Amino acid sequence: MNMSLRNIAIIVVLVKILQLVVPFISFQILPFQLESAYRGDNLGYPSDEPIGWKTTFKTWDASSYLYLAKNGYEVGGIANQMPPLFPFLINLAKRVVGSFTIAGLMLNNLFSFLALIGLYQLTRSYYDEAVASKTILYALCFPSSFFFSRVYSEGLFLCLTVFLFYFLSRHKYGRAALCALLLPLARTIGVFIVLPVLAYLFFDKKGAVKAQGEGADTFKKITVCVAPLFGLSIAMFFFYQTTGNWFELFEAHRINASQHSIANLFRLKEWLYDNFIHLHWQWHGTDNSAFDRLAFFLFLILLYRIFREQNMTMFVYALVFGMVPALSDHFMSYARFLIIIFPLFIQMALDFRHHRIILALMLLSQLKLLAFHSLGYWVA
C-alpha cells in the first residue's frame, strides 16, 4: 500500500467530507436521543435552540467550545475545564465565516488535515513511503478518529505535536518551542510534552546530530523544554484574569464528571478496584465503558511493540499521553484520547497485515460511532 502524498491528501479530504455528511444523514433516518436525557447530561448550547440537524454538529464538548467562544469564561463555569486556545481561535474565525459552528468545524478539519500531512512527512523521515501511507490511513480510519471532524480540539493538539517533532528533527528549535508553548493552551495534558522532548534531546540520534555542521544551540534546546511550563503558566494567568482563580482550570477538571486529577496517579490500588472490579459495566458508559477499557488494553499491547520497534521519543510520548489519561480518571473518553497518540498508528502500519480489510472495518465502525455520537448518545 504505497501511495503518494497527493493521493493520501485526496483520501483524507474524501473521508472528511464523509464525516461531515454522516451526522446530517443520521438525523434524517434515525431518532435523536431522548431530548430530556440529552439536555440533562450535555451543555446543549444554545440551550433554547430546538433539536434539529444542526444539533448533530454541536454535541457534548462541542457545545462547551462554542459557548466559550461566544461568551468567554465565568466563575465556576461548567466549561472551564477547556483551555482557552481553541475557543479563542473559533472566535477569531467566526468573524470571517459568520458562524461559530462553521468556524469550529473548519478549524478542526483544517488542523487535523495539516496534522496528517505533517505526520506523513515525519513518519517518512524514519520509515519508507509505504509505512508512512499506512500510518495516515490508520490514523484516519481509527474508530474514534471522527473527532477530527467535530468541534473538538484534537486536530489542533495533534497538529502542534506533530510539527513540534517535525521541527525538532530539522533543528528548528524556535518553531518547536512555539508549538510546545501552545500545547498546554490547547489541552492541559500538553504540559507533559516536556517528557518526550527530553527523550528526543537525550536519546534520539537524529536529535543529537549537528545541524549543517554547526554546534547544537543549547539555549534553544532548553527553551523547547521549558516552553510547555510557560504555556501552562499563561493558561493559569488567563484564568486568574477571567475568573479570579489561578487554579480554576484544575478545579473545573475535578468537579467535572471525568474527575481528572494528577493526584489519582498515586492511587493505583484504588484505581484498579474502581475501574475493573467494583464497576457496573456498560458498553458505552461515561465512566464505566467497556469500549474504552478495551481501547486501553489495545494501547498496552501496542505500547510494548512501540518500545521494541520505535525510538525512545515515540515510546515516551505514547507512554505519557496514554497512561496519564487512563490513570487520572475513570477512562472517560479514553478512546478519543488515543487519536493524538500517533506512534500507535505507526505501529499498526508496521505490525498489522491485511491492511485493506482492517481499515475498511475500522472505517465502518467509525461511521457507526459517529452517527450515534451525532444523535446525542455518549461515544467517547
| Mean pLDDT in residue range 185-198 | 96
Q: Is the pLDDT of residue 345 over 90?
A: yes
Q: Is the pLDDT of residue 255 over 80?
A: no
Q: Domain limits at 207?
A: 5-252+261-374
Kindly state whether residue 380 falls inside one of the protein's structural domains. Answer: no
Max mean pLDDT among 58-62, 279-283, 304-308 falls in: 304-308
In the prediction, which pLDDT does 306 show?
98
Long-range contacts of 55-61 (CB under 8 A, 24+ apart): 55/27, 55/376, 56/23, 56/24, 56/26, 56/27, 56/32, 56/374, 56/375, 57/23, 57/101, 57/105, 57/150, 57/151, 57/374, 58/101, 58/151, 59/373, 59/374, 59/376, 60/373, 60/378, 61/151, 61/152
| Mean pLDDT in residue range 162-178 | 95
Residue with cell 510534552: 193
Domain count, the chain: 1
Query: Which of 34-43, 62-71, 165-174 is predicted with the least confidence, judged by mean pLDDT?
Result: 34-43
Q: Is the pLDDT of residue 185 over 60?
A: yes
* Strand partners for 289: 282
In the prediction, which pLDDT does 3 show?
73
pTM for the full predicted model: 0.93
Cα 291 to Cα 337: distance, rounded to the nearest angstrom:
13
CA-based nearest residue to 1, from 117, 125, 128: 128
In this predicted model, what pLDDT tens digit does every residue of 70-95 receive, in sequence order?
999 999 888 898 999 999 999 999 99
In the prediction, which pLDDT does 206 show?
53
Q: Quick check: helix, strand or coil at residue 282? A: strand
In the prediction, which pLDDT does 154 show?
97
Kindly state whether residue 340 falls inside one of the protein's structural domains. Answer: yes
Q: Is the pLDDT of residue 265 over 80?
A: no
In this predicted model, what pLDDT tens digit does every residue of 287-324 receive, in sequence order?
788 889 999 999 999 999 999 999 999 999 999 999 99
In the prediction, which pLDDT does 378 show?
84
DSSP-derived secondary structure for 97-112 = HS-HHHHHHHHHHHHH
Q: Is the pLDDT of residue 135 over 80?
A: yes
Q: With cut-offs at 50, 70 and 90, classify the pLDDT of residue 36.
A: low
In the prediction, which pLDDT does 274 show?
77
In this predicted model, what pLDDT tens digit does every residue of 93-113 receive, in sequence order?
999 999 999 999 999 999 999
